[in-house]
Amino acid sequence: MKVIISSNKKALLKSITENIDTHYTDSLATILISKKEGSITFITGKPPLCSHCTFILDTSSTYIKDAQFSIDGSFAKQLPYYFDENENEDIELNVHTLSSSVTSIELIHKDIKSNENALRRCECVAVYGAHLTYLKESGQRPTSTASKAAIERVIFESTETMPFEFLEMNVDKQHFKIQRNGDVEEVQFPDNLKLPVSLVLTEGITRKLDNLCKATEGDEIEVAQQGELLTFKTPETTITYSLAGVEEFFAKKPLKFIKEQHVIVSFYTFKMEVRHCLTEYKTIKKADSALLYLSDNKAAITFITPPYEFIQPITITKTCSKTKNSESLYRFSPKVLLGINIGDLTQAKSTRLDILKYENGERKLGVYFSLENKLPHRTISIEKDESQLPIVLALLEELDQNQADTKTQSTKQELQKDLFADVMEECDDY
């Protein structure tokens, strides 16, 4: 029989064949063909980490009949790549059968580089029973349904917080729990993120979930987490991933921190200065180092990267420093800061920033969506570095003096204008 799968299904086929581990000599892929449904189902992976996807066959398929068999995993993994994606070439497989069983599956590989065709044939074996068991159990597994749009938002937020080992989105507590280098911290849920169920991801799962969202045509995705197994279902595909180590992650307590300093500033102004300096000055972008100056009544963003010395004050609307007249300087990565998104820029004129000092000695800059939130929306690493404080103070003094001189000059000009106007009035009287 000739089995034809539409070319626009290659992404789905890739999404379930990419988890085939060819290091195992007994790695198999199972294929089920249904004459009644006019479909072909692929099951891949080693239980319990399996995937399966069902494709409706193209109407040009011929002599379709019921069949079930398994093939070598390496051959299955290459299937999406044997058909040219740029030419919209359909996946065409020839399944050879005897009266009682399937003997082989073959295809014609059109090699664009050599302009020669290759015949690629793989002998079939008896169906792998564990794959059939997985398929049955997968259909019985209870799931929660989320919109594709919500999952895409999850992927975006997860990508924004990389790198991480584990990321838990806790619906009940409305916060993220993130593990990096074995340490755990908590941050506030993003605004408008609506999830029906709590979810735990790794970086690898996040990337694969992104591919799944791009490949599916459905508007909903089902989610099921059972211990160290995480399963996603779309109308076409089911994929199970490993969350090995997640129980240890759940058991870990978030690092405690104290708020070393607390200010409310215009984050929009902050980001605009950083963006300007990184965009317009390659030397500054390459150095990827900026300084944040904080006192009990003043804040400034500073770049001291030869040959440049830039300082931009940031208006503080509220501050809370434990010591009066205290001055601190912190170094951070401006590239990382630009990755923080404040969704509503009309409110960004009053963004809360906290210097958080954790029990492991690390400091972070906490950025809050709301002034009332107990947890920051995002954090970035920041370190206290007062080696450049004398230079920063000198720059601030020079800027203040310049502004004072400008103000004095402006006042003199206004007085001269007023005096001139008075003289002209006296002349008019004559």
The predicted-structure confidence for 6-65, as pLDDT tens digits, reads as follows 988 888 898 889 888 888 777 899 999 999 999 999 999 988 889 999 999 999 999 999
Indicate the angle between helix axes 10-17 and 203-215, nearest 10 degrees.
Answer: 150
- The pLDDT assigned to 231 comes to 93
- The pLDDT assigned to 424 comes to 47
Interatomic CA distance for residues 196 and 308, integer angstroms: 50
Window from 37-41, 75-79, 211-215 with minimum mean pLDDT: 211-215
The predicted-structure confidence for 96-116, as pLDDT tens digits, reads as follows 987 667 789 999 988 777 778
Averaged pLDDT, 294-311: 92
Cβ-contact 240, 51 below 8 angstroms: yes
CA angle in degrees (0–180, nearest 5) for 404-405-410: 95
Run of H or E residues at 240: strand 237-242
- The pLDDT assigned to 420 comes to 47
Please give the structure tokens belonging to residue 118: 């290759």
Q: How confident is the model at residue 197 (pLDDT cuts 50, 70, 90)?
A: confident
- The pLDDT assigned to 345 comes to 43
- The pLDDT assigned to 398 comes to 92
Mean pLDDT value across the chain:
86
Interatomic CA distance for residues 288 and 360, integer angstroms: 25
- The pLDDT assigned to 415 comes to 52
pLDDT at 166 over 50: yes
Interatomic CA distance for residues 199 and 137, integer angstroms: 21
Averaged pLDDT, 57-78: 92
CA distances from 80 to 12, 34, 402 (A): 9, 21, 67
Run of H or E residues at 397: helix 389-429
CA distances from 286 to 114, 146, 339, 385, 392 (A): 43, 41, 16, 20, 21
- The pLDDT assigned to 427 comes to 46
Interatomic CA distance for residues 38 and 96, integer angstroms: 18
The predicted-structure confidence for 287-301, as pLDDT tens digits, reads as follows 999 999 998 888 999
